[in-house]
Amino acid sequence: MRRTIALLLRFFGLLKFDRLAGFASEYPSTADALEGDVVVVRDGDVEKWACLTCPGGCGKMIALSLNPTRRPKWQVTLDLWNRPTLKPSVHQLNECGCHFWIINGNIDWCPGGRPSERRSAC
Ligand SMILES: [Zn+2]
């Protein structure tokens, strides 16, 4: 329900976000399963992974470990509308190479971190 309201508010320009958070109990099998969300995989109360499709256009699934004992590790927090904030930033080390933050559900590109910017700069 809250999700529907958030989508409506975005439609009317009252709320800004690129991604909302969803939850799953199992690791998503494909990037398609994410449906554009940041999917938090949790086992009981333990948050294990934050999964999202790369916003850089390659469409690959990015899985970020939320396990506090592993490195690298990320923290995900959700606001009232389930808009996720991820810390620290995400830096893809594949050919896509995108580098961004997700803050309140919005993709915030680091300077030079958006693949299309790099291509046009060549
Ligand atoms: Zn990518």
Answer whether residue 14 is part of any domain.
no
Instruction: Name residues with Cβ closer than 5 Å to ligand 1, which is an ion.
Output: 54, 56, 58, 96
Predicted local distance difference test score (pLDDT) of residue 119: 55
Distance 105 CA to ligand 1 centre (A): 18
Cα end-to-end span (Å), the chain: 45
| DSSP structural state of residue 121 | H
Task: Give the residue numbers spanning the domain of 64.
Answer: 19-121
Please state the domain count of the chain.
1
Q: What percentage of residues in the chain have a pLDDT greater than 90?
A: 74
More confident call, 98 vs 57: 98
Distance 109 CA to ligand 1 centre (A): 13
Answer whether residue 4 is part of any domain.
no
Answer whether residue 10 is part of any domain.
no
The counts of H helices and E strands in the chain are: 2, 8
- Measure the CA–CA gap between 25 and 41, rounded to whole angstroms: 5
Report the candidate in 50, 122, 119 with the shortest Cα–Cα distance to residue 89: 50
- Measure the CA–CA gap between 86 and 20, rounded to whole angstroms: 12
- Measure the CA–CA gap between 29 and 23, rounded to whole angstroms: 14
Residue 67 has pLDDT above 80, yes or no: yes
At position 7, the amino acid (one-letter code) is L
pTM equals: 0.89
More confident call, 4 vs 116: 4
Residue 58 has pLDDT above 90, yes or no: no
pLDDT-based confidence at residue 122 (cuts at 50, 70, 90) = very low
Answer whether residue 38 is part of any domain.
yes
